[in-house]
Structure 1
């Protein structure tokens, strides 16, 4: 590792990126940008001497450990083949023991089901042990949820964590010892010896628990359900006063407004001040509030913004203590309650090259060493270790080493007018070194729709910019983050407004002279894929090529996919009913689409079923339209594979070059 000493003036560092390499083909660049991050998750040991991180390798994900104190190279200690699942996280429970979670999807006669399991192992890969308590031959159903760790710092109990457990009723025939309890509870689990004991009895309707970070459970959430057992779009929260085991009502969140009901979503508990931190709405925007857990439920507004919603808590340490918040206007901004962390964050951002964001991803037990992730629009990610006492910053690992020698394109916040005069925010990225005029261009609507784009590194945007495209990412009405008025009824019920804004983004590119009118395309993933297809229904002549990845294509199919699951009522409410179901479904209006279409979808997609793209391709073919459909076997909604993403970029690039006559 190379070190950067940070004195009182926080000395400047050497830029991390070299000049761009030229002359690379689309396929070569696709391999670079399509490669998964080399570090998908990383953790620092309690004493700050070791790191453990997950890396993608051919055939699966690998857990590697490196001893920072000895300057050793990383050593792979275990792996999970792609066909056996995805290694989601690994975190230290002691200085020599790790706890990991694996997620996998199983296809049962056409129905996809998710499973998670948590296991422990030593830092040399030995003594692996399943920690999820799923052993029961009498269980009446599958143990899908293997639990989650909700507290890593149980005081006085080294190596012991608090884990949720789903209790499943057992068949009672032939025994009096069968478990008849049902729901989510909590156990204390010894990650070294595997012993466990129950600390919170199961609750049939519980969805989660929040601790104070030191082993005491303070808040419980319960999902509201209807008479048929289907989930409602609201949760109730309950809390305990210090030293009391009785649950008291705290608040509700989601669903219709009710007079006299505290609308508050708790996210964290601070045991010292005896308060819960969480979201509440005021004047159509979400802010951060604190609610006293002493019986008074006194509420204090900590921070709110008049333009955008507050959407991030900044937490550090093994107890996940809250030190600040973040929100995104044109760029993400941070507000710290902890003066030391605020000053440190500002100094670090000022010392590093370029415009970057600094995020603490982990810390040792004493918070003397901080593991940092630094990113920006032209910085794909570098991990650093910061020693507070020595004020020394050391590079650990680059997140995307295949991109460190490439010149990346700056992302610029812009505003453009919708057809009704409303100003729509977005981000414009131009090819490095271009004039910014008369370019091939792509409108790239985000997924969700209850999400938003923001300033920072984006592998797809940067690939297309490297290939000479201008890229505009609109935060159309229906996006989250800009308040309830901007969200409207969501991008499904209010699809005409959302897709109208997306199309106006393309018109603005042409009107500004950025895009050549005959070289304008649209590319989207998930809801963004829906927007890409539906844009061609609303204005068939605007875009000359359409690329849609894992898109929603038919509202009726989307609703049918949820039937038989507990979220069926939520999906029905999100989509609504009426003529807009047909009018807003591209698969039911395929004959209106003029532009050639390229579709991608994974067969294990649980967010948007693969049938959506299969039906869309068939409808386009029947209507005599130009369409190509690429299906990735064994991959989910996110196509989490370097090979798949490389093909996605290379095929899309070739398709766009052909359809826009760029070769």
Structure 2
């Protein structure tokens, strides 16, 4: 039965249901270009038909395929990643956007991603990397991130764009980095710890100071700190660990920033408070360095209001076009 159901689509089999006889099945699929397409399959006759497509306005033929790739890190660790190339473009020497997931205890997965498709539509190669510390690849891969914020976790991202350049996909002078939450922190680390790698960076609600970030986390987030942030990054109540956290914070190297930077922040964010973005913006403006700063008063940790998301991606689109395209 599984063999017949999987043959309905080249996507990944998702939600399933059947009648009491086990002969008539409804199957939905995860897909990078045709998300949620749902089919009816009758095993007694072998016939099937498309029931519906949740996003009928999306044309799979003009969307970009997301290709799983494996990238070797400098220490030999194999990094699962996804490369999306713009449709119809010669995949050589393209501007590339490294899209970094949040968490960091999360992972990028294969499937439809609106941000990826927007960037690919604009002509960018898009690279998503499950750096060490990402979830879904076993305990050893997860624990390889302990103590490696701004260290090997960031090296993985740099190695990944280096791989894209070495493979010929990306232009080394047109590399961008874009992320939210931990991904925003990674963007800030990119322009402070490795200022010569990226030509543009977009930080959405990323912490600039790991000490103040941990000190201002809301009470509901604190019970888990022992097993995540305190274990992986450090406990600011310990002076030695506090010093290490500060050394790993972008704010401690704000004087290194010379890459064009865009920052977006929700004013009501209680997880990464607005002061985290204010600090990095003020540090740059104090040096006379231009930085784009978008603050939305009716947003928290990450934008959910559709109008605000449109504003964010419209601004990001224009920002990347100025500095990468």
- Does TM-score exceed 0.5, indicating one fold? yes
1:453 alignment partner, one of 96, 101, 108: 108
Q: Deviations over 1:504-541 (max 9, x none)?
A: 11222222222112211111122111111101222111
Structure-2 separation of matches of 1:494 and 1:449? 9
Structure-2 separation of matches of 1:419 and 1:585? 23
Q: 2:218 aligned with 1:554, yes or no?
A: no
Identify, as 1 or 2, the structure richer in strand. 1
Aligned with 2:7: secondary structure?
helix
After superposition, the CA RMSD in angstroms is 2.7
Asked if structure 2 preserves the Cα contact closer than 8 Å seen for 1:552 and 1:612, the reply is: yes
What TM-score do you get using the length of structure 2 for normalisation? Answer: 0.86
Asked if structure 1 preserves the Cα contact closer than 8 Å seen for 2:149 and 2:233, the reply is: no
Asked if structure 1 preserves the Cα contact closer than 8 Å seen for 2:99 and 2:126, the reply is: yes
Aligned with 2:216: secondary structure?
helix
Asked if structure 2 preserves the Cα contact closer than 8 Å seen for 1:491 and 1:498, the reply is: no
Aligned with 2:278: secondary structure?
helix
Q: Which residue does 1:436 correspond to in 2? A: 91
Q: Which residue does 2:284 correspond to in 1? A: 620
Give the 5 Å matches for 1:107-186: none
Structure-1 separation of matches of 2:248 and 2:103? 16
2:192 alignment partner, one of 537, 543, 548: 537
Aligned with 1:605: secondary structure?
coil
Structure-1 separation of matches of 2:52 and 2:271? 32
Give the 5 Å matches for 1:174-253: none
Residue 440 to residue 610, structure 1, CA distance change in 2 (3 Å): same
Residue 605 to residue 363, structure 1, CA distance change in 2 (3 Å): farther
Higher relative contact order, structure no. (Cα contacts within 8 Å, ≥ 6 residues apart): 2
Q: 2:160 aligned with 1:478, yes or no?
A: no
Q: Deviations over 1:365-389 (max 9, x none)?
A: 8978755432312223324455677
Q: 2:293 aligned with 1:629, yes or no?
A: yes
Q: Deviations over 1:234-281 (max 9, x none)?
A: xxxxxxxxxxxxxxxxxxxxxxxxxxxxxxxxxxxxxxxxxxxxxxxx
Gaps of 5+ in 1: 1-342
What TM-score do you get using the length of structure 1 for normalisation? Answer: 0.44
Aligned with 1:562: secondary structure?
coil
Aligned positions, number: 316
Q: Deviations over 1:11-31 (max 9, x none)?
A: xxxxxxxxxxxxxxxxxxxxx
TM-superposed deviation, 1:494: 4.0
Structure-2 separation of matches of 1:382 and 1:389? 22
Please tell me whether Structure 1 or Structure 2 has the larger radius of gyration of its CA atoms: 1
TM-superposed deviation, 1:475: 1.3
Asked if structure 2 preserves the Cα contact closer than 8 Å seen for 1:602 and 1:631, the reply is: yes
Identify, as 1 or 2, the structure richer in helix. 2
Give the 5 Å matches for 1:336-347: 343=1, 345-347=2-4
